[in-house]
Structure 1
Amino acid sequence: MKVAVVDIKGKETGREANLSDSVFAIEPNDHAIYLDVKQHLANKRQGTHKSKERAEIAGSTRKIKKQKGTGTARAGSIKSGVFKGGGRMFGPRPRNYSFKLNKGLKRLARRSALTLKANDKAITVVEDFNFETPKTKNFVDVVTALGLDNKKSLFVLGASNNNVYLSSRNLKTSEVITSSELSTYKIMNANNVVFLEGSLEEIEQTLSK
């Protein structure tokens, strides 16, 4: 698959980037995408939720009424969950939500997500660029020139570039990452994925394994 390479002003450079069919043109596996996104969201959960159970509630341990003859259910403690102010029954406890996925499945998920974006023509290839100093206006000009105003955009760099990253940090709809940070969640969460030329080779080498 060939995609025209544009500059930061959105104009074609006359060159084309060849996107590998093994990464950008496979049969998408929706279930692999689902599992990888599910793992990403699960790993972000702190799992620190906790409610007090009856053993942790402060209160009297006196038997609140006699066992028989009242016509109602037995009750041995005011801290029972059936009473107001009692402990919560089967409440949340601290836990770890993370789970394991095989590397091969995660690579399949990323290839599937990239294929879906390619099918939707939501992939743009831009020649490598840099800013002399971090400046949000410079990055906004790039986003506008590429026609990505008011769209969630994901910029993928070949290597870390502090000036470009800092220039994008104040924008809620744009995110800048390196190729090693590319994940299925980030791909699916963006309306358009913008690859800098220098990132394509590493991505294809990593995901073609």
Structure 2
Amino acid sequence: MPKVQVVNMQGSPVEEIELNELIFGIEPNNSVMHSAVVAQLANARVGTQSALTRSEVRGGGRKPWRQKGTGRARAGTIRSPLWRGGGIVFAPKPRDYSKKLPKKVKRLALCSALSSKVIDNSLIVVDQISFEKPKTKEMVKMLEALKVSKKAMVVLEGCDENNVMTSARNIEGVIISRADTLNVVDLLKYDYVVFTKAAVMKTEEVLSNA
């Protein structure tokens, strides 16, 4: 079982805990993580592009001139794609880009991403994170004590730690996430993942039931 040191907000060791081997101690599967990233980015796309075909363009219901005798090319509507202001040939229409992954594949991808953070020593566990009032300076001070110098994701147990969330919102390269809303893209995007001890337990609970 992988073990990790728990530190306080000043960066001093407090205790050592064992992580669930099936969640934090597996061999990362790069192929599955890639599939999860592709699916998540595809699901974020909004297929709202749209253009009008000749049947949808307003006007053009009458034949502009008679078929023969004018010397001009025959025309049935002024909304032909050949005309200015006409419809678009094979016009793009709203579409669904979403991709679905099996639940077990999603779980494996998350566990692979978490395990890769443990292997890279970029997963930090803090006994608890709490501020008396929202203070960006206090959050910066804590991250410096934890020696987090790059992009970081702070994972909390729930959404009731408003002071922590507000303290981190103005720090560039730092985001706050909940243990039950973890995703592969964010885990791979950020260099460090800072868990509270409660968030680790919540993550193990969520992924054990997945």
Question: Which TM-score band applies after superposition, normalised by the shorter structure?
Answer: 0.7 to 0.9
Q: Distance in 1 between matches of 2:20 and 2:65?
A: 74
Classify 1:11/1:51 alpha carbon distance in 2 versus 1 (closer, same or farther; 3 Å).
same
In structure 1, give the amino acid aligned to 2:134.
Answer: P
CA distance in 1, matches of 2:156, 2:178: 5
* Structure 1 gap ranges (5+): none
Does the alignment pair 1:134 with 2:134? yes
Tell me the percent identity: 37
Amino acid at match of 2:4: V
Partner in structure 1 of residue 153 of structure 2: 154
Q: Would you identify which runs of 4 or more consecutive aligned residues in structure 1 move more than 4 Å?
A: 63-67, 74-78
For residue 106 of structure 1, what is the aligned residue in structure 2?
A: 106
For residues 54 and 172 of structure 2, what CA distance do their matches in structure 1 show? 45
Q: State the alpha-carbon separation in 2 of the partners of residues 115 and 31 from structure 1.
A: 15
TM-score after normalising by structure 2: 0.83
How many residues align? The count is 205
- For 1:154, the aligned partner's letter is M
CA RMSD of aligned residues (A): 2.7
Deviations 1:91-139 (A, max 9, x none): 3212233333222111111001112222222111111121001122211
Residues of 1 paired with 2:80 and 2:139: CA distance? 59
- Aligned-pair CA distance for 1:11: 2.6
What pairs with 1:18-167 in structure 2 (closer than 5 Å)?
18-58=18-58, 60=60, 62=63, 76-149=76-149, 151-160=150-159, 161-167=161-167
Distance in 2 (CA, whole Å) between partners of 1:25 and 1:32 is 16
Could you tell me which residue of structure 2 aligns to residue 198 of structure 1?
Answer: 198
| Unmatched runs of 5 consecutive residues or more in structure 2 | none
Which residue identity does 2:5 align to in structure 1? Answer: A
Q: CA deviation at 1:78?
A: 4.3
One-letter amino acid of the structure 2 residue matched with residue 196 of structure 1:
T
Q: Do the aligned residues in 1 keep the contact of 2:63 with 2:75 (CA within 8 Å)?
A: no
